[in-house]
Each structure stands twice: as structure tokens, then as C-alpha cells.
Amino acid sequence: MPGSLPERLYCIRSLLTRDPIVREVGLFAGLGSALSWYGLKRQSVLRRMRVEPIGQELDWIDFGAYGLAWPSAGSPSRLATALVELLAPSNGHYYFCPPTRITPGDVVVDVGACEGGFALESLIRYEAAQVWCFEPDSRMAEALQLTAERNGLEERLQVVPAALGASSGTVSFVESADDPLASYALSSEEPASSTQAVKSIEQFSLDHWAEQEGIPHLDYIKIDAEGSDLAVLQGARHSLERWRPALAVTTYHHPDHCNRMIDYLSSLQLGYRFRVKGLVCFDSVPRPVMLHAACKSRG
């Protein structure tokens, strides 16, 4: 996933010097990630896409096994990058690997559902029973609902147009006008710039939402919350203790998130085992891409 040569070199140096930030990344797996390149795969995905306008603001992207709605203002190349991350098992951002594969009949929570690729793969390829998609970006939530309907999945793919975090309430949310993958919730310490479109949105803790909805059980939680990933886990403590779901969580938004997530989950003493994979470099600081955690093997 690293892009430029300097970024790749930063990643390699951090592995060889055993930087504490990448303490959980295996040496050879990390080197493989630092040297990986997905340009050809992305071009292959782009060639397979069939784009059909379905309104003033949305396109329908036919991808063969399924299709999805995508904002017309969004770049198809950006979507292709997201799909490569989703579909290439060697990619650090790939979710469906041991010990956290989706199994038939699973009830899944998708935090940061965005374009809906993870939800569609979970329902169609891996036969999950239901996926609850949390997506606070209003455009993407609307697109997700259309994606569910046009794929005949409206009963199994449930869209929740809200954020998840450590607690319930309202938060300030930056909705990116030109990149649907870059919207995020502002932290309390982070001021918005004068050029950002900020609005107030509803946020739940996962524990509060699950109790409010009367959720009987959860088997799998996927989190890609653009920096709020650790907060989502902190707001899910009761759910983790009650159901011990498998977890696949992005860790690259903050350098210390991976280690802090492992420390937090370990402190709960629930028997989680961990797998860390992928390596990326932002602001000259390498960091792992994904944490997988499970209490029992799922393939």
C-alpha cells in the first residue's frame, strides 16, 4: 500500500529497526507489504466497470457479480482503488482472511460502510444473514440504500445513516465534496478548516444502538471509521463481552492505534487472538493497516 519510494523506504526501515509502532507486524509480511504494487489490479478493475448515470448525482457501477451506486462527483479511479483493497487477498486492507472470515448465517456490523463493497461481498459471496451498515455521509447512505434495493438485498442490508463512537450524542462531521471515501467525524480537539463543509450528525455507541434495536447477537464487526476506529471499540465493550464477535479494524489512521487497540482488547480478558497485517506510511510515519481479532478460528 505505500506509494512513493521514500514511503516504502520508511516502512522498510521501521521493520528492520523494530520500531514499536509496527511491533505486531511480521518482518517478512511487512516487507512484502512495503514492496507491493497494485496498479495493474486497479486498471483491471477499472476496465471491468460499466458506468450508467441514474440521476443527477449518482451513477450505477456494474461490476459483474453485483452493482453499486456511486456519487457522480466521485472518481471511478478512487472507487477502483477501494475495490482492489476489498478483493485482493494479498492487500493489507483485505478483510476476509483468517481468523476473521465471514461464515454463512453471520450477523455483521459494517462501521464506515461507504460504497458498500464489504457489505455486498459479505452477503453475496460469504452468505452472511444480515449486515447493518453505518454510514454518516448522507450521500453515501442514500447510495447504499439504492445499492441494497437494486441488488435485491433491502431485507438483509440495513443502512443506518449515523456514526458510531465511544458514546451517543451528536458530533461534527466533515462531508468531503469530491471524495466520498474521505468524509470523517471531527474529534473534540480538531478544528475544522474554513473550506470544509461541517455539519452536526447523530452518533451512537455500538452498545447503546444494539440495546435500542434489540439486537439478539452479533458475529462480526468491521470498522473503517476514518480515525474513530478505537473509539468505536471503546463504545462496544458490553457487546464484545456479551458476544465476542470477530473483529476486522483499520489501524492506519493514527500511528499508535494498532497497539492501543490490542492493549484495550487484551485488558478485557475475553480470549481474543490477534493478527496484524499491512504497512502504510503517512507523514513519514509507518503504521499497520489492519487488525484482525477473534476468540475462535473462522477459517
pLDDT tens-digit series, residues 108-154: 999 999 999 999 999 999 999 999 999 999 999 999 999 999 999 99
Q: Is the pTM for the entire model greater than 0.75? A: yes
pLDDT band at 246 (very low <50, low <70, confident <90, very high): very high
Q: Which residue has the higher pLDDT, 82 or 26?
A: 82
Mean pLDDT of 64-74: 89
Asked if residue 194 has pLDDT above 50, the reply is no
Give me 250's grid cell.
483499520
Mean pLDDT of 230-240: 98
What's residue 2's pLDDT? 54
Q: Which residue has the higher pLDDT, 242 or 283?
A: 242
Q: Is CATH 3.40.50.150 correct for 38-47+74-250?
A: yes
Q: Rounded CA gap, 141 and 114, in Å?
A: 8
Residues 6+ apart with CB under 8 A from 233: 223, 240, 247, 249, 261, 264, 265
Asked if residue 204 has pLDDT above 90, the reply is yes
